[in-house]
Amino acid sequence: ALLENNSLSDHARMVVLSSVWQSLSRTNKFSYSVSKSAIEGLVNSFIADYSPRGYSMNAVLPGVVDTPMTRSILTDEQIKKIEHETPAGKLVLASHVAKAVSWLASPESLGVNGQFIRVDNGWSQIRAI
């Protein structure tokens, strides 16, 4: 409705949250992975249609974030495995994700449009053997 009525300010910047799972797969996560993959289409279609109006959209793709929910779902052994497989050796903090969103929503990120920013300490790029 905001887009159809031109209710957004000039140069509006939108940020959506997805997950590194939009481009990775694992068993028993079919619906989750598909829903996250749809966000890629949303961002790409948005910039094709609305960038000429001065709007931008980017996505933040968190990895495994150290939250109470993560700690309740994953075992200590699973968390240690993820930390071992992460180049930085630790889980991402929620504040790291928030700072990425804040930067993308700010005028400081002008020129950044249609990007998918992974906030995962390198976990989705490199795996330890």
**Residues assigned a catalytic role:** 32
- Backbone φ and ψ of 86, nearest 5°: -100, 125
User: What kind and span of H or E run contains 69?
Assistant: helix 68-73
Q: Are 121 and 63 in contact (CB under 8 A)?
A: yes
Q: How far apart are CA 32 and CA 124, in angstroms?
A: 17
